[in-house]
Amino acid sequence: MRYNPKAKLDRSQVQVRRGGGRSGGGFGLPVGGGGGNGLKVGGGIGGLVILLLVFLLQSQLGGSPSAGPVGTGEETGSLDNCRTGADANQDRNCALVADVNSIQAFWAEALPDQTGTPYRRATTTIFTGQTNTGCGGATSDVGPFYCSVDEGVFLDTSFFEDMLQGQLGAQGGPFSEAYVLAHEYGHHLQNILGTMGQVRTQQGANSDAVRLELQADCYAGVWTKFATEAPDESGEPYILDLTEQDIAAALDAARAVGDDRIQKRSSGRVDPDRWTHGSAEQRMGWFTRGMETGSIEACDTFRAARL
């Protein structure tokens, strides 16, 4: 995977927050009528589903969600050195900026072209340890997530080594990280299109929650098909080339975050009734479907008779 040295990066689409330490590992999620200090979820069922799925994933991996709120005191960092694709080839955070720019440049054209719905930009926030969001406080233990209240993606980059490559055993690499971002922006598309409002069931192999996640994988595949074409404002593509090895890394990451793989690694048994994201085979399959078709319509998991 090579970024185009001539491409101009738009740093305004990404912010960095630093200065927060961990607050006990994980976050609390009050579900139902209870009160208390945990993660306040807003924005309807969509925001609830996205963050509940993260909570369930962390639980499967043996994490210890805390009920305490995340503290304040964050400071916004700088991406001033991220100016061009050449910087993205040298610096990890700049690479994430390039990925976000490419993903959003693609959907800004593809979403209205394919659906007639205009695209709205979403900000990605890179944080360290913990952060506050419109959906409540979260720590790095939750992994990357999308908050529908903020219409933003949040991630601590330690996820890629500590969880994706560490606990989940993925091979990692730059394009596996791009896949994770593209998946989260798939949730942003679902928010724009109103798909989140279709979610009624939160667990199970054929649940709406699984269909939501597989659709986000499919959307990530759609972007992947055109990733080397998405341009900056001057028409220069952000990404020059993707190799078979890059695609293999993305598929490996999709495989690693399959519910069956996670359950097998954490408890030694697979329970489809508790699935929230889909199996490894399903996640790879829907990513591939999006990549092969390049079509939003082909990603309609909610109408699929078989996932």
Locus of tokens 């009160």? 35
Number of neighbours of residue 187 by Cβ within 10 angstroms = 27
Q: How far apart are CA 7 and CA 3, in angstroms?
A: 8
pLDDT at 48 over 70: no
| Cβ atoms of residues 62 and 262 within 8 Å | no
- For residue 42, give the nearest of 134, 152, 153, 117 by alpha carbon: 134
Q: Taking residues 19-30, report their average pLDDT.
A: 32
pLDDT tens per residue across span 69-111: 333 334 445 799 999 999 999 999 999 999 999 999 999 999 9
Number of neighbours of residue 298 by Cβ within 10 angstroms = 16
| Cβ atoms of residues 154 and 144 within 8 Å | yes
- For residue 7, give the nearest of 91, 85, 80, 106 by alpha carbon: 85
pLDDT confidence of residue 27: 23
| Cβ atoms of residues 227 and 239 within 8 Å | yes
Global confidence as pTM: 0.85
Q: Taking residues 102-122, report their average pLDDT.
A: 98
Token digits of residue 80: 């001033």
Helix axes 45-60, 174-193, angle to 10 degrees: 150
pLDDT at 20 over 70: no
Amino acid at 130: Q
pLDDT at 38 over 80: no
| Cβ atoms of residues 251 and 139 within 8 Å | no
